[in-house]
Amino acid sequence: NIFMIEKKKTELYQELGLQARDLRFQHVMSIATRNNRIIMRMEFLKAVITPEFLLILDYRNLSLEHWLLNELASQLAGEGQLVTYSLPFEFRAIEAILQYWISKLQGRLNTLQPQILETLEALVDPKLLSVDRSKLHILLQNSKSLSELETDVKVFKETILEILDEEEVIEELCVSKWTDPQVFEESTSGIDHAEEMELLLENYYRQAEDLLNEARELRVLIDDSESIIFINLDSHRNVMMRLNLQLTMGTFSVSLFGLIGVAFGMNLESSLEEDPRIFWLVTGIMFLGSGLIWRRLLSFLGQHLDPPLPPHVPAVLKKSQPAAGRMETKTSLKGETFGLSRSTLTNQ
């Protein structure tokens, strides 16, 4: 049965047998016990678990109505992930909250993963000469969200690990074992509730570990893609620098032989300007000399900037046929040797 109540905090902690500091929930993550009451803090999700009921505090501001009405009821009825037989109520309540939180973390990862992959695919394209800044801004936001998700998963995993390291805390989480004598007798007769609680927590610890590994793989993919982006940008930058160097060499070549035109352009009289063929001769020498010098400079640039070719590795000779020939030769020689030995012995 799910119902809503409104009470003051003073009345609530007096009724539950708790202290005022126990209901002073902060934005942290912890699981603790107090006076046979389990107090769970999952950041904004705050709950108190008793052997009879599960109390979710301040749920209306957290948009939890769908989970409370549609999912929580079936889980508390015994349809949890690890509940294979009838276990006390607190097992199902703890499992329901842990399942909700791990599902929420998984949903955040499922939302981020396609966005990050789509952005990286657009940024790593080698055909792009420049990087789209809007894509980089989206990647920065997604990377920040991924870092926040990794932090939340780590805190969730460490919270469960702290409980798994303390056997006394695991025993205290089995509150029905200490409040109901019949439950205690059943636990001593074959059902170890502490072991079941440990298995329950280990299951969600493994799920958190798998979720953290997926987030780390996505982080490594982002780092590798950033390296590829930098390599592509460096490659395009090198192409532009080489083109600039080639144009500079061409300008130098033309300027060097342009001195001839400058010399003839001076207001000095000589006998050469009277010849009608001297203009085409000087122009041809200028263009031909500039072209030869530019070509020489380009070959010099190619020799010093282009990577050397790998050394030629000769093909490995096939050894099957020669090996067979050698084997046949050894066999024949061996036979001849044996024949010679026999003949020698016979003669002796």
State the Cα–Cα distance between residues 162 and 147, nearest whole angstrom.
Answer: 22
- What is the full DSSP assignment across 199-256? HHHHHHHHHHHHHHHHHHHHHHHHHHHHHHHHHHHHHHHHHHHHHHHHHHHHHHHHHH
Residue pLDDT, tens place only, 154-187: 999 999 999 988 888 888 888 877 676 665 555 5
Structural domains present in the chain: 9-237 (1.20.58.340)
State the Cα–Cα distance between residues 206 and 160, nearest whole angstrom.
Answer: 10
pTM > 0.75: no
State the Cα–Cα distance between residues 55 and 93, nearest whole angstrom.
Answer: 10
| 23, 9 Cβ separation under 8 angstroms | yes
Specify the pLDDT at position 327: 41
Specify the pLDDT at position 138: 87
User: Angle CA(188)–CA(189)–CA(193) in degrees, nearest 5?
Assistant: 50
- Top pLDDT among 168 and 63 is at 168
State the Cα–Cα distance between residues 289 and 307, nearest whole angstrom.
Answer: 29
State the Cα–Cα distance between residues 176 and 184, nearest whole angstrom.
Answer: 8
**Residue 89 in this model has a pLDDT that exceeds 70:** yes
**Residue 318 in this model has a pLDDT that exceeds 50:** no
| 196, 87 Cβ separation under 8 angstroms | yes
Count the Cβ atoms, other than its own, within 10 Å of residue 198: 17
Could you tell me which of 150, 120, 333, 94 has the C-alpha nearest to residue 228? 120
Residue pLDDT, tens place only, 200-242: 899 999 999 999 999 999 999 888 887 777 777 777 788 788 8
Specify the pLDDT at position 122: 80
Specify the pLDDT at position 181: 61
- Top pLDDT among 339 and 33 is at 33
**Residue 338 in this model has a pLDDT that exceeds 90:** no
Q: Which contiguous run of DSSP H or E holds residue 105? A: helix 89-123
**Residue 308 in this model has a pLDDT that exceeds 90:** no
Residue pLDDT, tens place only, 240-293: 888 888 788 778 777 777 777 777 777 666 667 677 777 777 778 777 877 887
Specify the pLDDT at position 8: 83
State the Cα–Cα distance between residues 313 and 285, nearest whole angstrom.
Answer: 46
